[in-house]
Structure 1
Amino acid sequence: MIHSVLSSVEAWGAAAASRTVLLASPRAFCAGVERAITIVERLLAGQEAPIFVRKQIVHNTHVVRDLEERGAVFVDELDEVPVGATAVFSAHGVAPAVREQAQQRQLRVVDATCPLVTKVHSEARRFAERGDTIVFIGHAGHEESEGTLGEAPQQIRLVETEDDIDALEIDGPVSYLTQTTLAVDEANRLVQRLRARFPHLTGPNSDDICYATTNRQDALRTIAAQADLIVVVGSANSSNSVRLVEVAERMGTPAFLIDDVSDVDPRWLADARTIGITAGASAPPQLVSDLLDALAGLGHTTVLERVVAKETLSFGLPTQVRGHAGESVTSTPEHSTQAGGV
């Protein structure tokens, strides 16, 4: 026990130093996440009966814990929700079968699906109606993938790797869609492989990978080459957060995913004089501020922000929670950069 404590003290002592922090921007909450959280918050404020949320509203343990403490009840499936109660669909979307179940149980549904995920669902229906076999590039078991696959289960094939693509046997027209939170470079590589196999492949009118995922990956690339290591704030089940780690590692920079500052291992910092920091689109901005404060406590810290885009996209709220007509929420993660001496 004493040896363990001494080792920890020595590790933190070795981590104490002056350093530079490169702060990627945009980072943290996107408009779709802000919208989903706002929906649950307003429902909690507006009625006394329990508010049930199917799955995690967004993939972040801190967000879910905060909403649970305020009264939200998270369930895995709708059969856990009392007949006639209010149920919220998460930002990741649901399959038509889930909507049918909600109707059968007479639930008051409030849909927090990100509009960019809804776009992919609409494309899946459009391609299916014209008779295409749809190749969906995504991650098996992810809630977004399950929702999209459910739009046309007989016509959609899920692929994750080039080997999956090589194993496809498809006759007739082929189209493709992608999960919104993929690494852009990896998705492009898989699409190219698809085109090589199916020269007449068609795709969506605009990229399925969402603006927030793309912006955060672009911002990360601007700092990864200059950093000794990258710290990504986000939960392990957050696809876009995990992709940020992978992007940094493909650039040759060590990267670590943390839920919050308590996950930081001081041994990471011992020889790191330049640290890159970003956060996945479902991570609260305050967690980045906490990390910056902790690093400042280890020595003089110079924080340099690297901005690749300003996010001003707005998504309207469902009618059930609007304060006034047409109300929307806007992604403005750059507002969080004032903490920690920035």
Structure 2
Amino acid sequence: MYSDILDKVFSSKEVGEYLINGGLENSVDYIEELIFCSPISIKDKLEMLMQVEDDVRKDEENLTHSSEDGTITEHDRWRHRYRIERYDGFLSALKLALEQQVKEGVFVVESGDYDSDVCDIDTSFESIFATYDEAIDWIHQDITIDEYTPDDTHWYEVSAWTKNDVGKYEQICSYIIINGEVCFAWIADEYARKNNIQYYHSEYEINVGVPFVAGDIIEVNAVPFCPKYKALVTSIGDNRDCCCIQVMTCDASGVWKNGALKHNFVATHTYPFISPLYTASRYCGELEPDEIILKQLQSYINGSEERGDKLNDYLFCKDRTTAELKEFIKEQEDV
């Protein structure tokens, strides 16, 4: 079910195929969230959301399978209402954003870059245009002139402003452009509040099962919002739980920390946020000298959740250096 959609939204073939093949009993409860939060064209998102509308509104999981005898509790009703509100908010946001593309107004273009020196984003004002098409044309020219590629940590944001009923300009939405394609559209908070659009652009986490095991080295491709990074899966735990799937990552200062992959509690934070689950894949290539510790810890864990949990305990609330991790391995071998 949803195989075409999952194949489109997950660039990680491992995660996508795992879900398509029924991994964790096909843990795709809220397909609309996987669509809306994915880094693909907003036109494709709207089309896919329309495809799943019947499934969302019927909401079989909450309305008929919520208890052993088939009765519906008040909590189930609330979950159903909340799901419909979010789905309608997703539709409203995308439709509104697409409508603004054919209106005149003020379209402000900014560019964003990931600054590896400070491990943070750097935004710059670029220009102002009277139409969306003019803004996008300028972006395409800038990509060509500066020879940006899909591997560069560079993107654009276009803010759309139009006159309201009293003749004052107000911000309607912002578009995030990746490789010349609009992949995210955010409705301005004030506009959403005034127009009762149930939509929150900060909620881009997704929760699906993954095919990884303790000890896997994975690579996450968060480009353009930060460089690719590697992580060690220390434990899986309850694959359905949002706080499980613990990973260890290294920050720019060279210290290692662990956290929940689904919550993006990793050393390299990104904004705008793309869930690591869309791109996470097992990494079997060569490691950089400062990453060799990942291989050593992989050998130590060797697929054991118990050993992975020991490493989690060692990292809990305390960042560790590579030297400390080597000492940890030695101590465990001596036990």
Give the TM-score of the pair, scaled to structure 1: 0.28
More helix by share: 1
Give the TM-score of the pair, scaled to structure 2: 0.29
